[in-house]
């Protein structure tokens, strides 16, 4: 069966690098394995710092400020990815998207995020681009405003059901105001929750490797309640660290209707080799709620765990962005 055709599930690639775009990326699209791609500051920091493919353009841009250099490099890649994905977008406008994130330093600046989102969208000028906005209080307002202007949005760094609901509400309102076929995804981060909490759960006699999936499923249920087909749940942070779980575990467990899974290349390869290709059984909302009651009964403080993950996620993206700008300035 085709997961894409039967349940509108899409696998996107969580990686961007210039040589990759011209080689493996093309092949993955042609073979209908991936239907989109995402990027973030950490991915660009790694790609630009470690690949020789950027050398010539770096030389041409060296007289500019570091952020200008970064944007020129990133936008070149995003435009190329959008071009390569455009046929998928034309075929089915749920897919064929590539995301670029606003400056992480703007995470608490609503107006700054809106202005940068509009500016980046205009510079790239491709219908199949999504502007990535973190799920902070400032971000929710920015998401609503950007989608109301017909700009596609990828809401990112969502860990809690409360964040998922706030994103869905903002995006639903913005899309309805746009009077356009504006699209959005809500990126639920999965594996980081297990990495943070597994040792505590295990110490209290609870199973490891379950919280991330149950939390993502609870968020999925909340998003689906809005019944807006232009908003899809995107399961992010689906790479496995360590040997406790199968490499494709977070894809296999989250093959849900009307959803996206954005995964690193290694995880995609694991799924192609050994992964599940039938839809996953979706735990009901009642099952999810019962699971979280068990956590509460065992004094697992999910509120503080969610807060720590968001704080750490924002800090990591800011650090990657600063590191990259520092390297570009030195070059």
For every residue of 117-142, DSSP letters joined together read HHHHHHHH--TTEEEEEE-SHHHHHH
- d(Cα 27, Cα 265) in Å, to the nearest integer? 13
- Its domain, for residue 252, covers 3-330
What does the pLDDT read at residue 83?
A: 98
Instruction: Record the pTM.
Output: 0.97
Percent of the chain with pLDDT over 70: 99
As for how many domains the chain has, the answer is 1
For residue 242, is it left (φ>0), alpha (ψ between -120 and 50) or beta? left
Band of pLDDT at residue 331, cut at 50, 70 and 90: low
Q: Is the pLDDT of residue 1 over 60?
A: no
Looking at residue 174, which CATH number applies to its domain? 3.20.20.70
38 and 61 Cβ atoms separated by less than 8 Å:
no
> How distant, in Å, are the alpha carbons of 17, 122, 262, 324, 325 from that of 44?
8, 20, 16, 8, 11
Mean local confidence (pLDDT), 236-265 = 95
Tens-place pLDDT, residues 77-125 = 999 999 999 999 999 999 999 999 999 999 999 999 999 999 999 999 9
Q: What is the DSSP letter of 262?
A: E
The pLDDT tens digits for 261-296 are 999 999 999 999 999 999 999 999 999 999 999 999
- Residue 221's nearest CA partner among 189, 257, 253, 175 is 257
pLDDT of residue 297: 97
Q: What DSSP string describes 277-329?
A: -SPPPPPPHHHHHHHHHHHHHTT--HHHHHHHHHHHHHHHHHHHHHHHHHHHH
pLDDT tens-digit map of 204-224: 999 999 999 999 999 999 999
Tell me which of 132, 144, 183, 253 is the catalytic residue.
132
169 is catalytic: no
Confidence bin at 244 (pLDDT 50/70/90): confident
Apex CA 212: angle with CA 209 and CA 216, to 5°? 145
Q: Report whether pLDDT(132) > 70.
A: yes
């Amino acid at each position: 069966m085709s997961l894409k055709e039967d349940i509108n599930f899409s696998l996107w690639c969580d990686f961007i690098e210039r040589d990759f775009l011209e080689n493996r990326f093309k092949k993955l699209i042609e073979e209908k394995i991936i239907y989109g791609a995402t990027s973030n500051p950490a991915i660009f920091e790694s790609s630009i710092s470690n690949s020789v493919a950027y050398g010539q353009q770096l030389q041409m841009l060296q007289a500019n400020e570091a952020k200008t250099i970064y944007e020129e490099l990133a936008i070149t890649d995003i435009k190329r990815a959008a071009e390569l994905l455009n046929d998928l977008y034309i075929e089915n406008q749920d897919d064929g998207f590539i995301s670029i994130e606003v400056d992480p330093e703007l995470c608490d600046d609503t107006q700054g995020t809106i202005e940068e989102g509009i500016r980046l969208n205009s510079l790239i000028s491709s219908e199949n681009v999504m502007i990535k906005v973190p799920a902070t209080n400032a971000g929710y307002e920015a998401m609503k405003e950007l989608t109301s202007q017909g700009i596609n949005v990828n809401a990112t760094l969502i860990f809690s059901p409360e964040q998922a609901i706030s994103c869905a509400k903002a995006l639903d309102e913005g899309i309805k105001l746009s009077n356009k076929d504006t699209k959005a995804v809500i990126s639920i981060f999965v594996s980081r929750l297990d990495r943070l909490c597994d040792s505590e759960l295990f110490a209290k006699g609870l199973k490891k490797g379950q919280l991330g999936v149950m939390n993502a499923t609870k968020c999925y249920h909340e998003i689906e309640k809005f019944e807006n087909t232009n908003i899809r749940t995107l399961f992010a942070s689906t790479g496995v660290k360590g040997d406790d779980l199968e490499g494709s575990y977070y894809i296999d467990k989250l093959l849900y209707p009307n959803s996206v899974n954005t995964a690193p290349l290694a995880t995609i390869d694991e799924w192609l080799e050994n992964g599940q290709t039938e839809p996953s059984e979706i735990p009901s909302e009642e099952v999810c709620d019962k699971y979280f009651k068990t956590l509460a009964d065992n004094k697992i403080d999910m509120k503080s765990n969610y807060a720590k993950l968001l704080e750490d996620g924002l800090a990591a993206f800011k650090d990657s962005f600063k590191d990259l700008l520092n390297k570009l300035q030195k070059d």
